[in-house]
Structure 1
Amino acid sequence: MSSSAEDWDPRRLPDLRGRTYLVTGANAGLGFFSSRQLVGAGAHVIMTGRSPNRLATARKALAADLPDAAGSVETLLLDTSNLGSVRAAAATVRQRGRLDGLLLNAGMVHAPANRQTTRDGNELVLATNALGHYALAGALLSTLAARRGRMVWLGSMSTSLGAKDPVDVQLTEGYTPWRAYVQSKTVTTAVGLEADRRLRAHHVPVMSVIAHPGYAPSGRTRGIRGINEPSRLGRFTDNLQAPVTQSKEHGAWSLVRALVDPAIEGGEFWGPRLIARGTPRRAQPAKLTRDPAIGERLWVMCENATRMRWPFEAARR
């Protein structure tokens, strides 16, 4: 059974020394603050992102914030929208041979106005938020299994706001930015839950968990040069919503708990206590995402879109 929210203090994490975590999209936002919390608890963190300059800035900012933990951070180029980049990054991590957890955080919140596709031929938002993470988790499955590790998929409370069955997953018709974002998060959550079912069925010692940050805008988050620099207008606007929002530091709490709390079990869904804000608690994913038939269909879609099958038998112990 999972411990209750009252038993967990996100400001006082358990000792994570000796553990290694990979965080996608770690150069800003939730990924940066999740990395900061993990490093602050003693973990070694592989911060990944698409831009070497932004990764260097993030690593420098984290080292300045936690000077005693500077040696516990490394950076790795990874673009989740590019399957070649995913394969290359996974190969690098496998060579290092130690991984306790994956925080599958990278993603597009503000989708482009018009539909775009990647060099692999997939719709851009789906590729960035869901397909790249499916491929990364699969490529690192045996490495995670060797440490009885965990993967955490980044969900969204938007999936409970009227999300529909993603039949046209690639959005070849009726594309809108909001639909692209919500549908990508519906796929992410459903596939994360389907991963749990398949991991259990194949007796692979890896947990799949989903977490969402609530509503955590930049304007409610402390400014850090090169990491979080909202405009004055953006900060003013975001602070008008203070009763129903929280900072990205606090939004990262649910993600980090889902990644490191030893009491959490595979297939669980975590988010803020008040849905949009608050300390982490176990929650209920949208009904649509819990449907095994939809999960299986979307899993096969991921296999076909990435041309990759997870190596369950090889990861089995």
Structure 2
Amino acid sequence: MSARRDQWNPTSLPAQTGRAFLVTGSNAGLGYFASEQLARAGAHVIMSGRNPNRLAAARAAIGRRVPDASVETLLLDTSNLGSVRAAAASVGGRARLDGVLLNAGIVHPPRTREVTGDGNELVLATNVLGHFALAGALLPVLERAELPARMVWLGSISTAMWSYDPVDPQLEQDYSPWRAYVQSKVIAQALGFEADRRLRAHGLAVRSLVAHPGYSVSGRTPGIRGVNEPTRGARFVDNLQAAVTQSKERGAWAPVRALIDPDAEGGTFWGPKGGLRGMPRTARPAALTADPARGERLWAFCEEATAVQWPSDRGSSERRRWRRRSGR
């Protein structure tokens, strides 16, 4: 396996023809480049986002850069549980879905705490709760994939630098923009690992992985009309950090590998080889996020906050019935 990992080429991915993937937050940044890389490999990509105009611009950009791309768009606002339910219902009727990249999120939180219409803190809702609800709702269609489907949760290297134990997930007592961001990533990573433990325990043919993009910045990313248009000042500042940064195009390498590398195992953590930048490989997650007890506690919190419970044994029995009907 190690030799295969050394040979992985993120600029020449294994053919994904006939496979379908959903990417949240596809209109810019990591989500856009992950979508483009998957489409270039031949996959059908469902690009999702909350702004229809930006989503259309991103789809047009992929059409210009990958003329034979197979893509469609889906309106999805992960901060809004009603939007999540509608999007999941739309995708859930498909014959199959091979994977979902849970990428959408707020990187620059508001200066003061904000609450969504569902009553949840905005950053938590966008980066975590919407994805928890979406992934749970998509389990039945993910179970219909020929190969074990995957969900990839987007983490962050910041979780290894700041020890924010999410004892107050909604940040009702001690909100700050940076804490809101890092804590949301701690929770997302913990859920990703806990999801894989639960999927295995219930015998569901879906794997959960976590990936992070290193230190990826817009100023070192190719300019694409309607997708990435940094100012000259932003490019100047970001290029001053060239030794420790990379483009968002390269930042998408680790999540994409976690999603499609046939040797990537459930419950693993992926990121750039150098931590901040480099080729995608397995990494060691922050201990805070890998603790099963904390994962179980945060799982219970998310169930309560979203009023969503994932299918469990029911999902595996449904798959067995489906296999009998289809002769598989």
Shift of the alpha carbon at 1:3?
5.7
**C-alpha distance in 1 between matches for 2:252 and 2:258:** 10
Equivalences for residues 49-88 of structure 1 within 5 A = 49-69=49-69, 72-88=70-86
If the length of structure 1 is used for normalisation, what is the TM-score? 0.98
Identity between Structure 1 and Structure 2 (%): 65
In the other structure, the counterpart of 1:143 is: 141
Deviation readout 1:97-141 (Å, 9 max, x if unpaired) = 320000000000000000001100000000100110000000000
Structure 2 residue aligned with 1:119: 117
1:270 and 2:291 aligned: no
Q: Per-residue deviation at 1:230? A: 0.8
Q: CA deviation at 1:164?
A: 2.2
Q: Which runs of 4+ in 1 moved over 3 A?
A: 1-5
User: Over residues 202-252 of structure 1, what are the superposed CA-to-partner deviations in whole Å (9 max), with x where a residue is unaligned?
Assistant: 011100000000011100101111100111111100000000000011000
| Matched residue, 1:109 | 107
Aligned residues: 315
Q: Which residue of 2 aligns with 1:285?
A: 285
Q: Please give the residue correspondences for 1:247-258 in structure 2 after superposition, counting only pairs within 5 Å.
A: 247-258=247-258
Amino acid at match of 1:94: G
If asked which structure has higher relative contact order (CA below 8 Å, sep 6+), I would say 1
| Matched residue, 2:236 | 236
Q: Could you say which residue in structure 1 is the equivalent of 2:325?
A: none
Larger mean Cα displacement after TM superposition, 2-11 or 173-182: 2-11
The residue aligned with 1:90 is 88
What residue number does 1:9 align with? 9
Sort the Cα spacing of 1:164 and 1:32 in 2 relative to 1 into closer, same or farther, 3 A. same
Matched residue type, 1:191: L
Q: Distance in 1 between matches of 2:121 and 2:95?
A: 32
Normalised by the size of structure 2, how large is the TM-score? 0.95
Deviates most, 187-196 or 92-101: 92-101
Q: Which segment is superposed worse, 209-218 or 92-101? A: 92-101
Q: Which amino acid is the alignment partner of residue 217 of structure 2?
A: P
Q: How far apart are the structure 2 equivalents of 1:142 and 1:118?
A: 28
Q: CA shift at 1:96, angstroms?
A: 2.1
Equivalent residue, structure 2, for 1:192:
192
The secondary structure found in structure 1 opposite 2:243 is helix
Verify the 8 A CA contact 1:3 1:263 in the aligned structure 2.
no
Per-residue CA deviation, residues 68-122 of structure 1 (Å, 9 max, x unaligned), is: 22xx100000000000000000000012232000000000000000000110000
Amino acid at match of 2:292: P
